[in-house]
Amino acid sequence: MNILELHDLFLKQKQNFTTDTRKITKGALFFALKGQRFNANTFAKQALDQGAAYVIIDEKEYYIDERTILVPNVLEKLQQLAYHHREYLAIPIIALTGSNGKTTTKELIREVLATQYKVTATLGNLNNHIGVPLTLLSMDKNTEIGIVEMGANHLKEIQLLCFIAAPNFGYITNFGKAHIEGFGSEEGIVQGKSEMYQYIASSEGKAFVNQQEKRMVAQAEFCDCIFIDPHETPLLELTPYVQIAYENTTIQSNLIGKYNYNNIIAAITIGSYFNIHKNNIKIAIESYIPKNNRSQIIKKASNQVILDAYNANPSSMEAAIDNLHSLSEEKKAAILGDMFELGNTTHKEHQNIVAKVIAHNFDTTIFIGEHFYQHQQNKALFFTSFDDFKNNFNQNLNNTTILIKGSRGMALERVLDIL
């Protein structure tokens, strides 16, 4: 079955598809993907028994009957179908990547554009070689603008995702120290993220670029750029929420930290480009409330908790620590967990964070994880693991602003149950 025939079948089944047997509904197309620990070809018969109309497999031994579509590689066929569907819809696609702030920025852009357009955007962080095709295939004839978040931990990954999504517009949030292990170096991170600029330039698209980020301006030199000018949307306040001035009005967000300022002004610039009325931009930004452990402010007893535990790398960790330091609250505490995927920079980066936090002299400083534990000293509390912290931490924190941040593998949102 060629891609045109498969796409016709996809439309005939009313875009009912899944890669998960737990989510099969009657008439679905089931794509039997394979991973390191699973082979969904083995679930082909189960999928049909559960109501799937067709199953797409790539191992002949699991062929059942005419409802089975055998292809050379299911993942590649899924990606090809996504690209073909994107071309079929012929709508503007905005792609964004970066080391930090991708999901928050994506959600802000979605909220702004959705005030005047039918928008389909990446759900959660489905931003890899499987998530991007799933996002594209979730778009239908009602979608007027698509927003595709792209994540990467090695070179050529953003390039692949751009070939699948064929974006007309691109935005890179920042170049930070994320996934150094996969990219090899900070220069590798810049090169990897800039694959988006290269695609945008080659396809005659447009790149949104913060004109104060000189390294980004340099990387985007061959692109048709729409510059984000912070002078047009100056920062007014950071105590604790970001407040900005925009076209003779004030926008009071529910986001904390100077690092979210750039995320907000990117959404404003993109909204303005797509002719979103300034009142709608203001309403969208002010209505957005962060969730999923990303820069959430939570009241816990007498404490104010900044829960930023979805993920962490040295760049985002430093930004969160600086934000805590800048707050005017009298008592402050930092509870920080290990950072992962740093390769041979792991020791140095954890050492740097310890030194930075200690220098700020917060009322309480706690480090959790084996990487941080290697740098223990008297001016902070160190625990080898979350269980070690849970079993041995016995202080009462009262009337304190507490930052909780660590890599996803640390799951530091569990700290809330202890405070």
Per-residue pLDDT tens over the stretch 234-274:
999 887 899 999 999 999 999 998 889 999 999 999 999 99
For residue 79, is it within any domain?
no
**What's the pLDDT at 47?**
96
**What's the pLDDT at 285?**
97
Q: Do residue 271 and residue 128 come from a single domain?
A: yes
Counting the structural domains of the chain, the total is 3
Q: Do residue 20 and residue 140 come from a single domain?
A: no
- Domain boundary (71, 100, 123) is at 71
Identify the CA nearest to 245 among candidates 260, 263, 265: 265
For residue 362, is it within any domain?
yes
Q: Do residue 100 and residue 200 come from a single domain?
A: yes
Q: Do residue 373 and residue 257 come from a single domain?
A: no
Q: Do residue 152 and residue 211 come from a single domain?
A: yes
Per-residue pLDDT tens over the stretch 193-240:
999 999 999 999 999 999 999 999 999 999 999 999 999 999 998 878
Domain containing 42: what range? Answer: 3-71
Per-residue pLDDT tens over the stretch 64-86:
999 999 999 999 999 999 999 99
Identify the CA nearest to 54 among candidates 76, 73, 71, 79: 71
Contact 298/254 with Cβ under 8 angstroms?
no
**What's the pLDDT at 125?**
80
Residue 197 CA to residue 187 CA, distance in Å, equals: 15
Contact 266/228 with Cβ under 8 angstroms?
yes
Average pLDDT, integer, range 147-166: 95
CATH code, 205: 3.40.1190.10
Q: Reduced to 3 DSSP states, what percent helix, strand and coil does the chain have, rounded to the nearest 5? A: 40, 20, 35
Residue 169 CA to residue 173 CA, distance in Å, equals: 13
Task: Quote the tokens at residue 133.
Answer: 């095709």
What are the b/e assignments for 200-210, b being 16+ CB within 10 Å?
bbeeebbbbbb
Q: Do residue 62 and residue 97 come from a single domain?
A: no
When mean pLDDT is compared over 94-108, 181-195, 288-302, the highest value belongs to 94-108
Q: Do residue 134 and residue 98 come from a single domain?
A: yes
For residue 263, is it within any domain?
yes
